[in-house]
Each structure stands twice: as C-alpha cells, then as structure tokens.
Amino acid sequence: MLKTIIFDLGNVIVPLDFPAGYQAWSEATGLAPAEIQRRLSSVDLYRAYEAGEMSTPVFQEAMQGLFGIEVSESRFMDLWSSIFAVPTLVDAQTLIGLKQRYRLVLLSNTNDLHFRFIRRNYPVAELFDAYVLSYEVGLMKPEPGIYRAAIEASRCAASECFFTDDLAANIEAARLAGMDGEVFTDEGSLLGQLRARGVVLGG
C-alpha cells in the first residue's frame, strides 16, 4: 500500500520553457538567444549550482561575468527563473486531494534561486510535506543517495513510495532504490497510474 507520493518539480509540477529563458537573457544582454545557449553550455555553472557546490552570490557573479552584465539579486532571480511557465502541470486541487490521505514529498534537482522563486510564485509548492532538494543535500538525481534522502523524508518504507519524474533515468534509479515509479507525461496519465495502485483522492 502506498503511503507517500514523491514528485519531481520541473516539467512535472511546473512546466519549463528554455527558449523563453534564452529570450529573456537575450533582451537583458543584447546577445542572440543562440549565443546565450552556447555560453551556458560551455561552462559547468548550472550543474555546480544545483549540486550545492556554489553559493548564490558566487553563482550570480560568475553568470554576470559570463554575459557581461551586472544586475540586482532580485533582477537576477527573475532572469534566472524565466524558464518557468504557467499553468502548473498538476492542478492544486489534485495535490490537495492526495494530501488528505498521503504524504507528499518534492524531490528535485534545483537551486536556491529557483526554489525561492517557485515558492514565491507557485502556491502549489507549499502543499508538500517535505522537500528533498539537490542543492541542500549535495546530491543530484539519479545518484542513489538522493533517493535514500527521499525515502527518509517519506517516513515510510521504500516500497510504500511512488515517484513520478519526467526523465526515465530518474525513475529507473528510484526503482533500484526500492520505490515504485512512472515517467510523468501528463496529469491524467499520472492519476490513472495512481488509481491502478489503489490510490484514492480526497477523504
């Protein structure tokens, strides 16, 4: 019997629009979107920041150097978070219904600025009972340790956890850790997967 449902964040709860992000940086810097993408892909800043290896001030300074701009932290947060779109891919009422019977955990490869932005702008983020975030635990999916942290946060056995993520490699790693899981495609498919496992929404 499932007791905890674990969700990825990007492209599961909140949609990601990378072209919109490149466009926002383009408008701020005067560089073409393709050049923004090229410069980002030429460095390891994104992974290092999400792995908790860089503080926010150090990351912001490095990014400003990469693009030749200098902005406030608030403006930088908005630029850095311009990849997030609306509406959410899982409706708040679905999470509220699940929360009445199951523990909800958010398991995400993310970073300080992105998660602060999410909590300020997407109220659904507050519906989770626990958060396992790569930059806080110093581990990233699909590393085994981050799944052990998620199981600990679930407060139940691994076999009593269900995990949904948009990347198949992350689901495979979760299964190796003893959890059940399915690749996320859309809310309707997710609800079907959960109902097949006996999950009931609401009281």
Measured CA to CA, the distance from residue 195 to residue 201 in angstroms comes to 9
pLDDT value at position 197? 96
pLDDT value at position 203? 65
pLDDT value at position 163? 98
Cis peptide before 87 (omega within 30 of 0): yes
Please state which of the four CATH numbers 1.10.150.240, 3.40.50.1100, 3.50.30.60, 1.10.10.10 is assigned to the domain occupying 18-80: 1.10.150.240
Fold of 4-15+86-196: Rossmann fold (3.40.50)
Burial of 201 (0-12, 13-18, 19+ CB in 10 A): middle
Going from N- to C-terminal start, the domains of the chain cover 4-15+86-196, 18-80
Token pair 């490699």 in the structure block, residue: 169
pLDDT along the chain (203 residues), means of 10: 97 98 98 97 96 98 97 96 98 96 98 98 98 98 98 98 98 98 98 96 75
Q: How many other β-carbons are positioned within 10 Å of the β-carbon of residue 111? A: 25
Measured CA to CA, the distance from residue 96 to residue 200 in angstroms comes to 12
